[in-house]
Amino acid sequence: MCYERGFSIFLIEFFIKIFKDLDMHFAILDIEEKSDEHGTYVSYAISINGGFHSSIRYRQLRELHEQLKKDFGERVPDKFPPKKLLSLKQAQLEERREQLEKYLQAISQDPVLVASKIFVRFLLKAQKESNKVEEEETKLDIYLMNGKKFQVNIRNTDSTDHVVQEAMSQIKLPPDMIKYFSLFLIQKKDDSELAVTRKLQGFESPSLVLLPLKDTHRLVIRKNFWDLRTEDKLCEDKIALNLLFVQAVSDVERDWVITTPETLEELNSLKTKNERKKYLKLARNQKFYGYLQFKPCEMDFPESNSHVLINIGGYELNFRLIGTQKSKGKEGSFKVTRIKCWRVVSSRDSETGEVVTKIAFEYLFSKDKLQWITIMSDQAMLMSLCLQGMVDEIVQLKANVKKQEVSKPKEQASPSPAKEQSSSTAKEDVEKKQDSHSSDEASADKTDGKQSTDSPSTNRSSKKKKAKKIVSVENKVFAQSIKDEDL
C-alpha cells in the first residue's frame, strides 16, 4: 500500500484543489474467508488512515462502483477489477486485493467522490455490518485532555460529524468555532502516558470505532488547527478559551511543551490563579506549543536506525535524537515548505505478521539536492494527515492574500512602498511562523558562486539574502554521509 502527496510552496497555486479534503488513506492488508447462512465467501479487511474500518465483500464494492458510475460517470476511475465466473485461486485473490486497493486509493484522490453521500453512506454501512450491531440509542463518553468527561446521547451508528456537533452543542461552544476542534482517538497506557492514534473522520462512527478499543482508548476533544493566530479569536469565547487552556495545561504537564523551571513555576502560578489568557499567552512562547508529539520511532536520518522523538507543528517536522548516537547533532527540523512530496507505505511483515508502516518525504536540502527521508512509525498515517493539515492552511492563507489583493480598490493598486510592505506582511506570516523555533533563511539560488548547503538542525543564527526565500537551517553535521533509501 502506498499513498503519495506532492507539495511545493513555489507551486502552491496548482495544489489548491488537489489537497482539499484528501483525508482518506486506504489499504487492504488482509483477505479473510468467512461464512454465513449461504455458505463461505471472501472478505477484504479495509483499513483507513491506519486503523481497521470494516470487512467488505467484492460484491459490495462492485455495487458501489456501479452506483458511482451512474451518478458521476467518467469521473469514476476505470480501475475496478472485473467479475470472474469461477472461484479464484490464492494468487488470483491476491491480485484482486491489490486491484481493489488501488481502486479505493484512486477514489480517495477525488474530493468530489470522497465527499459524496453515496461513498460516505457506504463506508458507514460497511462499518455497521462489520461490527454486527443493531442501531440503537446510546451514551458516548467524550473526554477533555485533563481526563474529565461528559456524555452525549447519540445513536451508535452516528457519524463523527454528528457526534462532534452534539458534543459541542452540549458544552455550548459557538457554532462558528466548532470547525477548530475535532474528535481524536487517544491510547491511554497509564495515568500519565497518552498517545494520539488518529483523528476521526466523517465516514466513520466514533461509537463503533471505540467498540473493540474501549479498554485501552478514549475519544478526546483537541484543537484542529496549526496557525496559532487562530487562538486570538477563540480566546474571546469562554468555552473555546477553556478548551484551549485545558489542552495547554495537559501538554505542558506531559512535557509535550518544553519550558524552563522558572517558566514552569510561573505557568503553575497562573494556573492556580485561573489566569487562563495569561497562561496561554506565556505557553504560546514555549517550544513545541501547538505541536503534536508522537511516540518514539526510527528514522534513517541523520544515520540509519536513528531513534527519534517526532513533534509536528509550526509548519515543520521536528526530530530529537534519543539513545546513544554517534552524531554530534541532537535535534533538527524539516520545513513543510521544503517538502516536495511524501508517501505512506504499509505492508505486512512475512515473518511476524505485523503491519509495518512508513512515511517518507522528499526534502529540499539545497538548490540541487533532494533527498528521501523515511520514518518508521505506527503513527505514520497521522503524521501524513498533520502534514496535509499544514499544507491546507498554507494554501488557504495564500488564497486569502490573493483574494484581498483582488478586492482592493483600483486607486490602491499601486501602493506606496510603506503600504506595500504592510500588505505583504500576511503573505510572509507562514514563513515568519516557521522561524519561531529555527530562524535561518537561505536562498535556493546561487550567491557569490556558492551553493546553499541547507539541512535541518537547531542552528539559531539568521542570515537574510535578497533572492527568493526558502526557510531552512544549516548544520554540516547532518549534511554529511547521508544515504538515500529507495522505497
Domains of the chain: 23-131 (3.30.1520.10), 137-283 (3.10.20.90), 291-402+429-487 (2.30.29.30)
SS (H, E, C) 274-306: CCHHHHHHHHCCCECCCCEECCCEEECCCCCCE
pLDDT for position 114: 86
Measured between alpha carbons, how far is 487 from 111 in angstroms, rounded to an integer? 27
Record the cell numbers describing residue 183, joined without a space.
474528535
pLDDT for position 437: 41
Q: Which of 362, 336, 369 is nearest to 471 (CA)?
A: 336
Residues 54-102: tens digit of each pLDDT: 889 999 999 999 999 999 999 998 889 988 877 788 888 889 999 999 9
**What is the average pLDDT across 177-200?**
87
- Interhelix angle 58-72/90-108, nearest 10 degrees: 30
The CA-based angle 110-112-116, given to 5 degrees, is 120
Beta-carbon contacts of 419 under 8 Å, excluding residues fewer than 6 positions away, are: 412
Quote the percentage of the chain above a pLDDT of 70: 77
Phi, psi of 423 (to 5 degrees): -70, -20
Whether pLDDT at 224 is above 90: yes
Please state, rounded to an integer, the average pLDDT across all residues of the chain.
79
Phi, psi of 280 (to 5 degrees): -65, -40
- Interhelix angle 261-272/238-253, nearest 10 degrees: 140
Measured between alpha carbons, how far is 457 from 164 in angstroms, rounded to an integer? 39
Instruction: Give 431's pLDDT tier (boundaries 50, 70, 90).
Output: very low
pLDDT for position 441: 35
Instruction: Give 439's pLDDT tier (boundaries 50, 70, 90).
Output: very low
Record the cell numbers describing residue 16, joined without a space.
489548491
**pLDDT greater at residue 247 or residue 34:** 247
Do 223 and 247 form a contact (C-beta atoms < 8 A)?
yes
Measured between alpha carbons, how far is 118 from 75 in angstroms, rounded to an integer? 14
Residues 109-151: tens digit of each pLDDT: 888 998 899 998 999 898 888 888 888 999 999 999 998 999 9
* Alpha carbon separation from 74 to 68, 69, 163 (Å, rounded): 10, 7, 34
Do 339 and 7 form a contact (C-beta atoms < 8 A)?
yes
| C-alpha of 371 from chain center | 22
Instruction: Give 328's pLDDT tier (boundaries 50, 70, 90).
Output: low
Residues 340-381: tens digit of each pLDDT: 999 888 777 767 767 788 999 999 999 889 999 999 998 998
Residue 144 is classified by DSSP as: -
Residues 347-358: tens digit of each pLDDT: 777 677 677 889
